[in-house]
Amino acid sequence: MADFVEEKGEDYYEAALKKGIEGVMAKRKDSIYEPGVRSDSWLKIKKLRSCDCVIFGYTKGTGARKDTFGALVLGLYDNDESVYVGKVGTGFSQETLKTLLEAFKKLEAEQAPFRVELHEEITWLKPELVCEVFYQIVTEDRRLRMPRFRGLRNDKSPHECTLDQIV
């Protein structure tokens, strides 16, 4: 448990990040802790990183997403070799889901661009689309942790999306 800091929260947050702490908790002074309850009284504030990834495929959607897709299969380039860095399944509006799926129909590919063991049905795509993804950290096996889709990057080519962004 850490000491509390009144005022100067932004300075405290920056100092915490410099020490390698992933974030801080901000709370209203008069609030109480309520286990299992999300409220505006207690906020977890974490630094998000960003990288531009190539969309190499997508997983089949289920439930509310059965008519679109579940997650995007992401990769980066290490020289000319494509490398799997994870999947992103959050951050999409309904409109974005439909727009992406429509674009994917023209890009379907037969072969996987890299070896990856995913226990889901994957539709592979030609590596022509780039998206920006927010994430928290990169795991030891070079996977994006807690990724969130930000949007397409029409101004960037897939081969500009290299592994050095996250290593």
Give the CATH number of the domain where residue 120 resides. 2.40.50.140
d(CA 24, CA 47): 9
* Burial of 73 from C-beta contacts in 10 A (0-12 / 13-18 / 19+): buried
Do residues 77 and 118 share a domain? yes
Q: Determine, yes or no, domain membership for 93.
A: yes
pLDDT at 3 over 70: no
Do residues 21 and 90 share a domain? no
pLDDT at 141 over 70: yes
Do residues 56 and 36 share a domain? no
Q: Determine, yes or no, domain membership for 3.
A: no
Q: Determine, yes or no, domain membership for 118.
A: yes
Q: Averaged over 107-122, what is the pLDDT? A: 90
pLDDT at 83 over 70: yes
Q: How confident is the model at residue 40 (pLDDT cuts 50, 70, 90)?
A: confident
Q: Determine, yes or no, domain membership for 31.
A: yes
pLDDT for res 37: 84
Q: Determine, yes or no, domain membership for 30.
A: yes
pLDDT at 1 over 60: no
Q: Tell me which of 40-44, 129-133, 161-165 is least confident.
A: 40-44
Percent of the chain with pLDDT over 90: 63
Q: Determine, yes or no, domain membership for 147.
A: yes
Note whether 83 and 162 are within 8 A (CB).
Answer: no
Do residues 145 and 110 share a domain? yes
Do residues 31 and 100 share a domain? no
Q: Determine, yes or no, domain membership for 4.
A: no
pLDDT at 31 over 80: yes
Q: Determine, yes or no, domain membership for 1.
A: no
Cα dihedral 69→147→85→87 (10° resolution): -20
Average pLDDT, the chain: 91
41 lies in which domain range?
A: 9-46
Do residues 30 and 82 share a domain? no
Q: How confident is the model at residue 124 (pLDDT cuts 50, 70, 90)?
A: very high
Q: Which residue has the tokens 């059965």?
A: 66
Q: What is the pLDDT of residues 48-70, one digit of tens each?
A: 899 999 999 999 999 999 999 99
Do residues 109 and 74 share a domain? yes
Domains: count for the chain: 2
Q: Tell me which of 32-36, 50-54, 69-73, 154-158 is least confident.
A: 32-36
